[in-house]
Chains A and B, each alone.
Chain A
């Protein structure tokens, strides 16, 4: 479903791999090895030579915003453009069940961002990014500021999204146990190259 061919990311050997419908893959490697840059390049947030296709359609065949509506990057540190939580969400009925599923109170939409903890913001950013059902999720350490219980809730949502909706996901994580739970398929950056392994 997602095909990456000879993608040139700063300091990395050209990257090629493929992800099928309903598939999760874990991306690992030391800090600073280029995991975030690879995800950013796939989401077309940084200029990068090479081809990235979604269901056979190259990213340059559509506008940048149209591509990113389908291939969604979740930054490790989410950004917020106003002080009110509600400004960052469309009004939709899908919101309430998601808040509930990730153990966030229903009135979270009335919060200001200063009031939200780092972990709450991370979960809010996850919800913000999945509300419009993008077919590809690129998650950069999606549970780094969460306690074990919340982390499991987010993991569950990611798996549910991928399996039920036939999407795919790349997840950057430093947590081996979490990586194990997500997928048997692993991409690892070693000495400037992406190598594939199955555990």
Chain B
């Protein structure tokens, strides 16, 4: 494998592009120059920090350090799911449901892939575990956020329709059929679109990265296809569990609609 190593002066030169954009903002009085520079600086610090963290963890190659970072990633993704909701369940479920379903879906699919398909040595090699988990979490998080937001919004908006079915003696599964279906569809849409568009409209980032690093394009494509399947599996599983779990919390054992268990944020 061969790739061109970047010098820090190369980065400094590229950062001039940010200054050009900032100049345009000043010239046209868009007022985004401050935000632009701040977010560019934030990106440098955040990526720099994670670069050193990953370097450290790769050197240790210890299951505990790997597990520790994986846990932090999962908790941050759980917080992100919460941050993207217009309504959240009350109590433990506010964070608990999104985070636990996401964790289960992403880690179980990752374990299957590591133990059964990729088989790195050792199995917990952080160079494989962490990027894989990151990609699975990012996509599952996206799907679950969209699915849950759709479900709770639809349940609120369609309260009259749902309660009409309940009042006629239908079960909670029947009464919530349409909202649940909408939520599952919305939550799966990003990965379905990503698969359909990849290679035509977009070259997936991971594959591009491998190609830049000198991997044979066909080998990079094989990896990308595997990743897409894993992402689709984890997203499908995570969205299904999170949406059904929330639908179950939105109703009770007497099959009543319980919108009082939702809180607007």
Contacts and interface: CB of A to CB of B under 8 A. Distances in A.
Given A81-B178, A128-B168, A44 B254 contact: yes
Contact of A65 (B159, B160, B162, B171): B171
Interface string B70-101: 00000000000000000000000000000000
B163 A65 contact: no
Nearest to B253: A64
Given A44-B256, A45-B256, A47-B256, A78 B160 contact: yes
A69 interface: yes
A133 B248 CA distance: 30
Contacts of A177: none
Contacts of B162: 79, 81
B168 A45 contact: no
Given A65-B170, A128-B168, A79 B255 contact: no
Contacts of A64: 166, 253-256
A68 interface: yes
Contacts of A44: 254, 256
Interface in B149-177: 158-171
B256 A79 contact: no
Nearest to B164: A79
A78 B168 contact: no
A129 B160 contact: no
Contacts of A75: 160, 163-164, 167
A172 B77 CA distance: 50
Most buried by B among A63, A66, A125: A63
A81 B167 contact: no
B252 interface: yes
Contacts of A65: 166, 169-171, 255
Contacts of B165: 79, 81
B113 to A, nearest CB: 40
B168 A72 contact: yes
A72 B170 CA distance: 12
- The interface size bin for chain A is 20 to 34
Contact of A45 (B158, B167, B178): B167
A66 B253 CA distance: 13
Contacts of B164: 75, 78-81, 125
B36 to A, nearest CB: 46
A179 interface: no
B190 to A, nearest CB: 27
Contacts of B163: 45, 75, 79
A77 interface: yes
Given A80-B164, A81-B158, A66 B254 contact: no
Contact of B167 (A43, A47, A66, A82): A43
A75 B145 CA distance: 33
Interface string A62-95: 0111101100111101111110000000000000
A46 interface: yes
Contacts of A66: 169
Interface string A113-153: 00000000000010011001000000000000000000000
B169 A79 contact: no
B182 to A, nearest CB: 12
A80 B255 contact: no
B168 A81 contact: no
A84 to B, nearest CB: 13
A65 B164 CA distance: 12
A43 B164 CA distance: 12
Interface in B189-233: none
Interface of B: 158-171, 178, 252-257
Interface of A: 43-47, 63-66, 68-69, 72-75, 77-82, 125, 128-129, 132
Given A45-B163, A65-B171, A81-B178, 16 more contacts: A44-B256, A45-B167, A64-B254, A64-B256, A68-B168, A74-B167, A75-B163, A77-B160, A78-B160, A79-B163, A80-B161, A81-B158, A81-B162, A81-B164, A82-B178, A125-B164
